Amino acid sequence: MSVVFLLCACISVCAVALICFFLFVNGIPAIKEIGLLNFISGTEWRPANNVYGIFPMIVGSAYVTAGALLLGVPVGILTAAFMAYFCPARLYKPLKTAINLMAGIPSVVYGFFGLVVMVPFIRHNFGGRGMSVLAASLLLGIMILPTIISVSETSILAVPKNYYEGGLALGASHERSVFFTVLPAAKSGIFAGVVLGVGRAVGETMAVMMVAGNQPVIPQKLTNGVRTLTTNIVMEMGYATDLHRRALIATAIVLFIFILIINISFSIIKMRSDK
Amino acid sequence: MTVRKENIKKRSGTHRKSHRCDVISIALRLAVNLAAVTTAAVLIFIIVYILINGIPYISADLFAWKYNSENVSMMPAIVNTIYMIALALLFSVPVGIGSAIYLTEYAKRGNKIAACVKLTAETLSGIPSIVYGLFGQLFFVKYLHMGLSLISGALTLAIMILPLIMRTTEEALVAVPDSYREGSFGLGAGKLRTVFSVVLPSAVPGIISGVILAIGRIVGESAALIFTAGTVAEAATSLLSSARTLAVHMYALSDEGLYLNQTYATAVILLVIVIFINALSEYTAKLLGGKTRNG
């Protein structure tokens, strides 16, 4: 019987192997055909002319992720600090429920909300078409909040209480003790949360597609449209054939490698913070 | 939890009052409160906005059995979602529980295979859903010739939720005290009997809360399904028929842009389902004795 359990356990190994195999077998030939350098650093994506450069999408992913972090990280960490050290007892449970719910809302619902609320708002107040780097960043900033909050809160709570008490004993106020003794001690855990948030933001697809405009050009302004690696795949996979199709799979390989790097750094940071 | 409660109890007024004029402290307190209010306000705004715009358009027509362009009923999509949940769980739960049993009950410390399984499970949980969708299309749809179908979608989702089921089951199994196992061995039960009649039953609430979380993910998933289960708006008649789930249905409506009010209504139903699932998972977590799922 133990063999059956072992087989079950091996399925996840097989799944990862299969995913890698099928992505690489279908995508690597396209990268070879286009040329790795042309593919990664090419600034033009014109499937009709067989020109496949994903640099604008890499930059696009980087922009919206950076924007999301700019908004999500401060709010997320401060909210985590609030929940761990400032929150009145009767507020704690509703807030925790709210944050869990935030993590559970489907990305299409977020995307739709962005489409009907944020996009018109940006169009009226900042000009442009509304579907923009700004809209995608704002929306992603909201979507990564629950990840950052829950990982940060856990690591803040894991800091031994005597750090906080030591701060108080030296005459620091409650706020100063939390921010200048507890938070620095929890920094690697908080950082792990941020890295996990980056993974979420880079991998998010549908919500971004609905608000980003999806032009395959490097955006010059915050109000310009942007296309990310993920949306590049969803936008065109439905009708792509031949090299175009394989180029999209190759895009997924690039995305997959980015995500692997992010996840490995998360594991390393987390391992260090657990020690 | 307990640490936090102590924090609150011990925070007597004295040291707070003595620092009333400390600008940095006041600024920090303000910032922290502002952040928490922002987080809560954003969520409330999203939910209330969708409810206000969607509830007036929920009508009996939207739950008609047939979908057509005059009446974009979401009933077929709801039926498909239920099929999808049932199928994905059917594949994933036994495998997930089996893996977790192997990891906690059979694998010895420092076992290379166990380390490898844990690593791959972690990798799986980080892969974005669009990559799953692409893989599902390459493997299930094309390579195994299953086509855009319920079964392709369910198998893709099964892989996607596998790490979640594995992790929650493993946590639940680890939480079962060793004295249970020792007691069972002491009464002469074998390893297998101990696992199935002693360890697993005590881990059931934990496993169920994992399954509920997995259901939540399936309900909300869209990117992985568009290229595996397709977007046909009819209730599936067989495992091989293409079927859109509620989230995909909502995306399709929003994409077509002709049915704004119905899209709001669909969003309301999705939100209600998600809220219900979250409440359920919190309830089962409570049965586990105050353990939170993020804890």
Euclidean distance between CA atoms A80 and B143, whole angstroms: 46
Using CB atoms, which residue from A79, A255, A266 is nearest to B131?
A: A255
Residue type at B43 in one-letter notation: L
Using CB atoms, which residue from B33, B53, B222 is nearest to A107?
A: B222
Q: What is the mean pLDDT of chain B?
A: 87
pLDDT tens, A140-175? 999 999 999 999 999 999 999 999 999 999 999 999
Please name the residue that has the structure tokens 């002491």.
Answer: B186
Q: Do the chains contact at B271 and A109, CB–CB below 8 Å?
A: yes
On whether any CB of chain A is under 8 Å from the CB of B256, the answer is: no
Using CB atoms, which residue from A8, A18, A164 is nearest to B99?
A: A8
Tell me which residues of chain A, numbers 21 to 80, contact chain B at a CB-CB cutoff of 8 Å: 22-23, 26, 74-79
Using CB atoms, which residue from A12, A86, A107 is nearest to B124?
A: A12
| One CATH from 3.40.50.11260, 3.90.1300.10, 1.10.3720.10, 3.40.50.970 for A57-274 | 1.10.3720.10
Q: Do the chains contact at B130 and A98, CB–CB below 8 Å?
A: no
- The residue among A251, A268, A236, A224 whose CA lies nearest residue A34 is A251
Residue B13, pLDDT score: 45
ipTM for this model: 0.91
Using 50, 70 and 90 to split pLDDT, how confident is the model at B289? low
> What are the domain boundaries of chain A?
57-274
On whether any CB of chain A is under 8 Å from the CB of B158, the answer is: no
Tell me which residues of chain A, numbers 143 to 172, contact chain B at a CB-CB cutoff of 8 Å: 145, 149-151, 153-154, 157, 161, 164, 168
Chain B residues whose beta carbon lies within 8 Å of the beta carbon of residue A203: 126-131
Q: What is the mean pLDDT of chain A?
A: 92
On whether any CB of chain B is under 8 Å from the CB of A253, the answer is: no
A7/chain B closest Cα distance in angstroms: 8
Q: Which residue of A has its CA nearest to B29?
A: A175
Residues 6+ apart with CB under 8 A from A170: none
What percent of chain A is modeled with pLDDT above 70?
99
On whether any CB of chain A is under 8 Å from the CB of B197, the answer is: no
Chain B residues whose beta carbon lies within 8 Å of the beta carbon of residue A145: 39, 42
Q: Do the chains contact at A75 and B39, CB–CB below 8 Å?
A: yes
Residue B107, pLDDT score: 87
Buried b (16+ CB within 10 A) or exposed e, A58-82: bbbbebbbebbbebbbebbbbbbbb
Using CB atoms, which residue from A22, A142, A267 is nearest to B139?
A: A22
Residue B154, pLDDT score: 96
Work out the burial of residue B126: count CB atoms within 10 Å of its CB; fewer than 13 is exposed, 13-18 middle, 19 or more buried: buried
Look at residue B292 and tell me whether its pLDDT is greater than 50: no
Residue B6, pLDDT score: 53
What percent of chain B is modeled with pLDDT above 90?
64
Structure tokens given for B8:
């609150």
Using 50, 70 and 90 to split pLDDT, how confident is the model at A242? confident
